[in-house]
Homo-oligomer: A and B are copies of this chain.
Amino acid sequence: MSSGLVNPVCLERVADACGGKLIGDPAATVFSVSSLEDATPDSLTFMVDSSKLAENHGINPGVILLKPEDSGLFSGPRIVVADPYLAYATVSELFATGFKEIGVHSSAVIDPSVSLGSNVRVGAHAVIAAHCQLGDGVSVGANTVIERDCSVGADSVIDSSVTIYTNTRIGMRCRISSGAVLGASGFGYAPDGHSWRRIEQLGGVRIGDDVDIGANTTIDRGTIGDTLIGHRVKLDNLIHIAHNVKVGDDTIMAACVGIAGSADIGKRCRIGGRSSINGHIIIVDDVVLHALAFVTKSITVVGEYTSAVPAQPARQWRRTLAHLNRLDKLVERIKKTGNKND
């Protein structure tokens, strides 16, 4: 169970937020969210699947979000909704303890040419360089650096210790987690006969609205044009997105994905953790990559793709590997055997 500050929320507000029907006292309050098994009279919980109830009988939540057909299973305060999990997602933000005091910390260094919207928050030791534009309600965390000529759309939250290079444009309502680096120089070199000649990366990064970017994820700036992240894209932690990549709207990527330069990923794709996508690959809309998929050719047909090998006992895998590395000889032998029989 988590500790920390709590935030009382009345049941009427919960029901309003998720559009559900409240059965119970609208003025009663809950203080936190809990799983079904940890439910207490002070917490809100939710039930997606009533078969889970058997192992949790006797629970007494402050309020429970549940489906119409399950409403009769509880006599206490409840909110009836079509999709309890989505309703839980929707109301979860009511319980976030908001620390975002308005105002600019006196230790922040903000160039006089920066344009700040209303209700902007800038944390201690943040640095915002010349000609940046921050929209209304933007929050910038402590020790974050925003270099020249960047813009951040209204109500976006840049957490602490983020680094944003020159010429990065971020949409509205985005959330950038700590350690993320946006707009670093892409990896571009031309061979000069002896070694590698650096190609100056002259483009920027453009990020749509409602984009989330995870901790320590890196998105390089474009070589000539911009690296493009569409609207509502969700990126987990430790993802690498190289220069000139395009990611379509509503695409979601789990942690540790790596995408090489100029790859063009469609809309509504779901990219599993630790997937790798080669440079200049095109992936159409609605493709699903399972975890650890390694995409080496463009994907033109919607579907699920994979290439990962699940772990197994080491001895067994060693035997399989040995067979795999002798497949050549095996095939040879079969051909011989086959021929004898033909």
Contact = CB atoms under 8 A, between A and B. Distances in A.
A62 interface: no
Contact of A311 (B181, B199, B293): B293
A156 to B, nearest CB: 13
B218 A238 contact: yes
A154 to B, nearest CB: 17
A178 B145 CA distance: 10
A289 B125 CA distance: 42
A338 B336 CA distance: 9
Interface stretch (A20-28, A53-61, A248-256): A248-256
Contacts of A226: 1-2
A38 to B, nearest CB: 7
Interface string A170-194: 0000010111010011011111101
Interface residues of A, number: 138
Given A38-B225, A304-B314, 14 more contacts: A3-B169, A88-B190, A89-B192, A89-B200, A105-B109, A141-B145, A179-B181, A184-B215, A216-B218, A238-B258, A306-B314, A306-B318, A307-B312, A340-B341
A198 interface: yes
B337 A232 contact: no
